[in-house]
Homo-oligomer: A and B are copies of this chain.
């Protein structure tokens, strides 16, 4: 297990912070309505990189002065590494540069966070085995739970990039076409089965213009965020055959504000689970490319207190983001800087590991009881959902911050 790297930023040395020197996640922030710019989280501070770059202590061609990490991503993997190592040196406990760096620190509680990159396109996968097994069992029974292609392909679909929002954005319950199995005709009205999906999002940091290997895909991934794929199950049930989910997934997808770099997560690399069937060569992992990241979901009813409704781990995924990206590019599909890949819902083997209310309440048949005594099958108006995640080293955690969204009532129709 790797150890805490100590920083002269005292709050970064706590075992409780998401942002020790080992992490250095990438965000975009503003203070008092100023132009958004690039920053790195360290303890309870944000290091203003745009401001620091003017001192000459860092030089990345002005890419850090933009309100997005895309220009920096375009510099490539060698520069990503140089940046981390230079920044780690500047912030280390014994750094001789403390005096030069310290004036460029901002208190996190005074900053407003913004979407950290220019999102190109958003793809969502269905690559967690326990989730696919649970959902398949509900709809087709345990024998036919996994579709025939599932163990061969990281099944994915294109999502709607314009609907991806930053943590904290309020989510309005959607209206949509609904039809119960016994209804003669569909009707248009508010979704009554509005749900969450606990996922990780991988951010593509290098473009490709043709098929790439799993290793190349791994190298092209810049970092990771938490991702909540809000889902209207009743809209989905009626619309999704034959071409997949569309309006059921178009209301919103929320991401956490800090991009945790692949390099920061390197000590926590782990293999995907054993294969039930061998993968075709273009999908085989040459090395461990998944990560051991503990995840949890909290649900807080309006005016109430939070219940942790799920605990699971990213290492439950059957396919890594690298495998998903290699598959995505396999047809020649051009991939771009700023593409976001949702992992698919991350459930674990047990009931307490289920990453969606659909699974937790088993399609609404087994409502769960919150700590307050209230029951939940799906989300109620006013519910606040919080995703959290962290990888654990010796005496420290590499965390993601929170991915939060509150549900507002639907528009009247």
Name the residue on B nearest A237 (C-beta). B149
Residue A107 interfacial (CB < 8 Å): no
Contact B163–A241 (Cβ < 8 Å): no
Minimum Cβ distance to chain B for residue A337 (Å)? 11
* Contact indicator B240/A176 (Cβ below 8 Å): no
Choose among B153, B174, B238 the residue that contacts A332 (Cβ–Cβ < 8 A): B174
Q: Which of B179, B235, B327, B411 contacts A210 (CB 8 A)?
A: B411
| A186:B152 contact, CB within 8 angstroms | yes
Contact string, A23-58, partner B, CB cutoff 8 A, digits 1/0? 000000000000000000000000000000000000
Q: Could you tell me if B152 and A251 are in contact, using CB atoms closer than 8 angstroms?
A: no
Of the residues B149, B238, B247, contact of A328 by C-beta under 8 Å: B247
Chain B residues with Cβ under 8 A from A152's Cβ? Answer: 177, 179, 185-186
Q: For A389, what are the chain B residues with a Cβ–Cβ distance below 8 Å?
A: none
Could you tell me if B149 and A241 are in contact, using CB atoms closer than 8 angstroms? yes
8 contacts between A and B (CB under 8 A): A152-B179, A155-B242, A160-B333, A163-B333, A163-B334, A175-B331, A185-B277, A235-B331
19 additional A-B residue pairs with CB within 8 Å, beyond A126-B243, A176-B330, A176-B331 = A121-B160, A126-B242, A147-B242, A149-B238, A152-B177, A152-B185, A155-B243, A157-B158, A158-B159, A160-B333, A162-B336, A163-B334, A174-B330, A174-B331, A177-B280, A186-B280, A232-B331, A240-B242, A247-B330
